[in-house]
Amino acid sequence: MQSDIFAKRKKDSLIFFFLLILLTVGSVVITQYDVSKGFTSLLKAFIWGGSNFYPDGKSLTILPDVLRKLWDTILMSIAATTVATVFATLLALVGSRTTRMNRLFSLVARGIASLFRNIPLVAWAMVLMLAFSQSSITGYLALFLGSFGFLTRAFIETIDEVSNDSVEALSATGASYFHIIFQSVLPSSLPQMISWILFMIDTNIRDATLVGLLTGTGIGFSFDLYYKSFNFHAASLVVILIVITVILIEMVSNTIRRVIM
């Protein structure tokens, strides 16, 4: 019996690796992708980047403008996340098994969350562009909708796993629905929820850059502008600032996480 299990595991991993190789070879053949050329051009890209893609003294003059754009982007990401948090919390309370008022609403809430989460951000941006054209409201809404779906899903799972027992205890004392939400569900879930919110802000700052490319706003637009006008030194400065920002934000969120968990 025991050895059977080990034999089965071994067989499973063999099958897995075989499938992986098949998939890789298959897709290379079908797309006619030249693997060796792929690697050599990657190398070329690095060499080109090393000789052109770095900030020089002149590019520093754009710093104030880029920093302002960066600041705008950060604020937009945070605003999109916080507003999404409010709506996601409400929908998660409807959707969670622990706090739902009835089964049908819960199902609908979960459905909405899955739908929103599974539409890629870029798709949201494109659809929204039809309505709002290239503007910062497009970028904001795209981030908001993506965050809303993701956070709802995350909050539903958090509430489901965290607060079952104390909810039962409080209903047994005669506490009302809202008492239970505010005295048991939210206090129990809050640290985990804050952790998700920080993660979302983090992700949104990265994504805002990408969305900015599409919608012509924020830091993404700056990059696009300098890159397309062959001002690679300036474009590289933008990239470096983005990377620094993302690292800083991540450090801040990790610190906050350590304190609250």
Partner 1 sequence: MKLELGVNREFSEPLLELKHVTKYYHGAAPALEDINFSVAEGEFISVIGPSGAGKSTLLRCINRMIEATSGEISFDGVLISKLKKRDLRKLRTRIGMIFQHYNLVDKLSVIENVLHGRLGYKSTLAGVMGRYSPEEKLQAMRIIDLLGLHDQVYKRCDQLSGGQKQRVGIARALIQDPKLILCDEPIASLDPNSAKIIMDHLRDVSAQMGITVIVNLHQVSVALKYSDRIIGVNQGKIVFDGSPSALTAEKIAEIYGSESNDLMVELGERYAI
The torsion angle over the Cα atoms of residues 200, 205, 207 and 208, rounded to 10 degrees, is: 130
One-letter-per-residue 3-state SS of 1-69: CHHHHHHHHHHHHHHHHHHHHHHHHHHHHHHCCCHHHHHHHHHHHHHHHHHHCCCCCHHHHHHHHHHHH
Q: Which residue in 29, 103, 174, 259 binds partner 1 (CB under 8 A)?
A: 174
* Farthest CA pair distance, the chain: 72
**Using rule CB under 8 A, residue 161 touches partner 1:** no
Burial class (CB in 10 A: 0-12, 13-18, 19+), 42: exposed
CA–CA separation, 142 and 148 (whole Å): 10
Q: Which residue in 170, 208, 234, 242 binds partner 1 (CB under 8 A)?
A: 170
CA–chain centroid gap for 173, Å, is: 40
- The three-state secondary structure class of 175 is coil
Whole-angstrom CA distances from 105 to 95, 97, 101 are 7, 11, 8
Q: Which residue in 166, 199, 216, 227 binds partner 1 (CB under 8 A)?
A: 166
Q: Which residue has the tokens 């709802």?
A: 152
Measured from the CB atom, is 157 or 250 closer to partner 1? 157
Cβ 170 to partner 1 shortest distance, Å? 6
- The interface region with partner 1, picked from 11-19, 21-29, 172-180, 221-229 by CB under 8 A, is 172-180
Measured from the CB atom, is 84 or 170 closer to partner 1? 170
Cβ 85 to partner 1 shortest distance, Å? 19
Cβ 222 to partner 1 shortest distance, Å? 43
**Using rule CB under 8 A, residue 102 touches partner 1:** no
Cβ 257 to partner 1 shortest distance, Å? 15
**Using rule CB under 8 A, residue 6 touches partner 1:** no
Cβ 110 to partner 1 shortest distance, Å? 22
- The interface region with partner 1, picked from 14-22, 125-133, 178-186, 218-226 by CB under 8 A, is 178-186
Pick out residues in 186-205 that bind partner 1 (CB under 8 A).
187-188, 190-191
Tokens of 238: 């933008």
**Contact (Cβ atoms closer than 8 angstroms) between residue 147 and residue 111:** no
Cβ 175 to partner 1 shortest distance, Å? 4
Q: Which residue in 165, 230, 244, 252 binds partner 1 (CB under 8 A)?
A: 165
Q: Which residue has the tokens 């047994």?
A: 172
Which chain residues interact with partner 1 by CB under 8 A? 163, 165-166, 168-176, 178-179, 181-184, 187-188, 190-191
